[in-house]
Structure 1
Amino acid sequence: MATADGLTRPAVPSRTELAGRYAELCETLRRCAPQADTDDALPEAVFEALRSSGILGAAIATEYGGHGGDAELTNRLIELVATADPSVAIILFQHYAVSARISEWGTPAQRDRYLPKLADGSWIAASAWSESGAGADKRNLATRARRVDGAWVLDGAKTFTTGAGLAQVYLVLAQSSEPTRTISTYGSDGQTFYLIEADNPGLVANTGMDLVGMRASATGFVELAGCRVADSAVLGPVGDAVRIIAGVRESGATLGAVSLGIAEAAYRLAYTHAVRRGLDGQQAVRFRLVDLEAKVCAARALVDSSGRRDTADPGVTTLHSKLHASQVSEEVTAEALRLLGSAGFLRDHPLNKLARDARAVGLMGPINDLCRELVSAPWTS
């Protein structure tokens, strides 16, 4: 399969093939999701299922024990997992994102150290970029990295870190020198990425955030106090993290895949309810279901296009896919709840969890308004 960058990649398994391959994993996720949402934590059974499935290595080259997949494969897997439990899909998305960044920007030593562990599931990776007060665009970071006796010392605090307390390695964004100019609407110059392991005595991670949606995603805080790391922890160019940030969009990996899985699950619940209650005999109900299915299909087409990177501007397509799919998931869950009537007003109905999770994706970085800014900014230049 030829792509916009001229490379040829192996065919990606169909959704039907993937669903069959990971049916046992998804069944475990569905079974555990309600209690995990109530407890605000994932049970060990989920991690055992993830590790044994091999799904964690999808974004990693086969030479390191992975599946060698690109964004088209990982997007489909994230969608599949999101139909079972969106909280796990968010953790998986971040794991894939860090795995891909290490694969692309890591030194040979970093790849040898991290990728086999991330591929076999013995380690989980997480991104620690966000800060309270920094804004969605990450241009005003308070976390600082300074040179001390031939090493780097980081001080600061990160919020909304998915997988906090679960991950064994964190990709931390810090200001390593004073910014001299604004060169991006997402991040600024003078910023550097660091791979920091969870057992570093200067790093403390905890969940501690009582979220409305994605409650089992272990989203919380990462505190850095005199966190000392060697030069070997630096990922990519010092002071030029924006190149990696921009590359995330260009890769085609999209949070829209999480939203797509939520929308698909909501549609299926609405369809099953209609058939079970005999409502599918009513033309008005059938037409509403057709409209919901059409929205899901349109969102899937955009997410798939993002993963294939076959458009003139893959980065813009990725942003559009996140925007559109997250809006569709909110619309589909809301309409599905209206179709259910009083049944959807029960607190423990799974559609209500999906609706909360759908809303959360639009607020995840880059948040939807920042996606719009990133797409429209070139129009004013």
Structure 2
Amino acid sequence: MALPRSYETEAEFPHAGFALLSGSSLAADPPLEPAAIGDLLHLLAEVGRGDLGVGRIYEGHVNALLLIRAYGSEAQNAAVRNAAAEGAWLGVWNTDAPGKPLTENDDVLSGAKNFASGVDGLTRAIVTVPDEAGRKMLLMPLADAPVDRSWWDPMGMRGSGSHVVDFTGLKIEDAHRLGQPGDYTREPWFSGGAIRFAAVQTGGLHAVFDVARDHLLRTDRASDPYQAQRLARMGLHVDAAHGWLARGAEAWSAAAADPDDAAKARRLVATANAVRSAVEAAALAVLEEAERAVGAAGFNRPHPLERLVRDLRTYLRQPNPDGALRNLGDAIAAGDWLPGEGA
């Protein structure tokens, strides 16, 4: 999916990319059925391949639609579908601002969320607040929430605009409450959802491969035997990452088809941990190969590899990668997940 990139607007919400997405059914009607999870992951990969910032924000929109579909009322689902059909975009923000956690008291919010990706282009976001029975979800409008943009100044993914949003004083209406306490972190869907950001990352590493290959062809260096080996290794890593997405889709569909099967639920969680770990390793390998293949030219603006390297290396830093790999090891030891076995 060809999405526009610009250094001049790199730190701004990617309006041009989302205008392309709005011109299709991808805002209101992405493939959300469990049986279509493979199509959804392919879509996320293609969006990420076009622009990682757009992919990051779009994955949040998809996550919001999935949560509302699973736990929302008929009225909430209808309202969100209608809003999305008219161009509204949503997000999901769980991380509290340090020293200012989001809480509620007498139907009034206090506190803030940081890493609030996409806030400059979203109309609503699902935010979480603590409860004795588990974190609660609120589907909050964003028009009246102040945004602190001074904090977000990263190396890459600048356009994702993961700012700090202060909800202090905003009143919670009944229509804002989504599902029950604990729904947000309900397994296996909470951990299993990592396959979605891994799909966007796969698109990013595929884009790095595309740019490196184009550079070698344009400079007539692809026939060099060492560069040919780099192309081969990158191609293997890209194809392997897409293969891991297929395994993730298979495990998700199997768990969704039999939600009472604890073994399939455990397998989905373990597979998601495997997918994110394998995709991260593939991305780091492709980045290394591409940087060596292109050389210093790839670190100089406006070469497209320069921004891709910054964006992908930043987006790979998802929470708790060590814990994901440790949990996969535990699942292997317990026999819940073994290499070569299907869902």
SS across alignment from 2:171 = strand
Residue 59 (structure 2) pairs with residue 97 (structure 1): no
The 5 A counterparts of 1:32-111 are 32-37=5-10, 40-42=11-13, 44-59=15-30, 70-111=36-77
Q: CA deviation at 1:157?
A: 1.1
Residue 248 of structure 1 is matched in structure 2 by 190
SS across alignment from 2:170 = strand
Single out whichever of 207-216 and 166-175 deviates more from structure 2.
207-216
Percent of residue pairs bearing the same amino acid type:
22
CA distance in 2, matches of 1:269, 1:240: 41
Residue 316 of structure 1 is matched in structure 2 by 270
CA distance in 2, matches of 1:249, 1:337: 32
AA paired with 1:160? Answer: F
Question: CA 1:380–1:297 in 2, change beyond 3 Å: closer, same or farther?
Answer: closer
Q: Of 64, 71, 96, which aligns to 1:131?
A: 96
| 8 Å contact kept, 1:338–1:344 | no
Residue 155 of structure 2 is matched in structure 1 by 212
Residue 162 of structure 1 is matched in structure 2 by 117
Residue 221 (structure 2) pairs with residue 279 (structure 1): yes
Deviations 1:56-108, CA, capped at 9 Å, x for gaps: 234367xxxxx998432221111111112110010110000001110111111
SS across alignment from 1:278 = coil
Deviations 1:255-301, CA, capped at 9 Å, x for gaps: 11111111111111211222222222222221121011101111110
Question: CA 1:289–1:232 in 2, change beyond 3 Å: closer, same or farther?
Answer: same
SS across alignment from 2:129 = strand
| 8 Å contact kept, 2:103–2:110 | yes
AA paired with 1:230? Answer: E
Question: CA 1:47–1:336 in 2, change beyond 3 Å: closer, same or farther?
Answer: same
Residue 368 of structure 1 is matched in structure 2 by 321
SS across alignment from 1:36 = coil
Matched residue count = 321
Tell me which of the two structures has the higher relative contact order, counting C-alpha pairs closer than 8 angstroms and 6 or more residues apart.
2
| 8 Å contact kept, 1:323–1:362 | no
CA distance in 1, matches of 2:15, 2:185: 36
AA paired with 1:131? Answer: D
Residue 129 (structure 2) pairs with residue 194 (structure 1): no
SS across alignment from 1:171 = strand
CA distance in 2, matches of 1:238, 1:248: 14
Question: CA 1:105–1:240 in 2, change beyond 3 Å: closer, same or farther?
Answer: closer
| 8 Å contact kept, 2:47–2:54 | yes
Q: Of 181, 203, 213, which aligns to 1:261?
A: 203
The 5 A counterparts of 1:288-327 are 288-309=230-251, 312=264, 313-327=267-281
CA distance in 2, matches of 1:133, 1:97: 24
Question: CA 1:234–1:70 in 2, change beyond 3 Å: closer, same or farther?
Answer: farther
Residue 258 of structure 2 is matched in structure 1 by none
Q: What TM-score, normalized by structure 1, do the two folds share?
A: 0.76
Question: CA 1:375–1:121 in 2, change beyond 3 Å: closer, same or farther?
Answer: farther
Gaps of 5+ in 2: 255-263, 335-343
Residue 296 of structure 2 is matched in structure 1 by 342
The 5 A counterparts of 1:7-22 are none
SS across alignment from 1:222 = strand
Deviations 1:97-136, CA, capped at 9 Å, x for gaps: 0011101111111111112322x252110111112449xx
The 5 A counterparts of 1:219-234 are 219-234=162-177
| 8 Å contact kept, 1:252–1:308 | no
| 8 Å contact kept, 2:102–2:129 | yes
CA distance in 1, matches of 2:28, 2:195: 15
CA distance in 2, matches of 1:296, 1:167: 32
SS across alignment from 1:56 = coil
| 8 Å contact kept, 2:37–2:249 | yes
CA distance in 1, matches of 2:97, 2:333: 29
Gaps of 5+ in 1: 1-25, 62-66, 135-140, 178-188
| 8 Å contact kept, 1:59–1:70 | no
Single out whichever of 267-276 and 85-94 deviates more from structure 2.
267-276
CA distance in 1, matches of 2:288, 2:236: 15
CA distance in 1, matches of 2:195, 2:46: 14
Residue 144 of structure 1 is matched in structure 2 by 103
Deviations 1:212-266, CA, capped at 9 Å, x for gaps: 11111121111111221123322111355422x6423345742111111111111
AA paired with 1:56? Answer: A
CA distance in 1, matches of 2:325, 2:104: 30
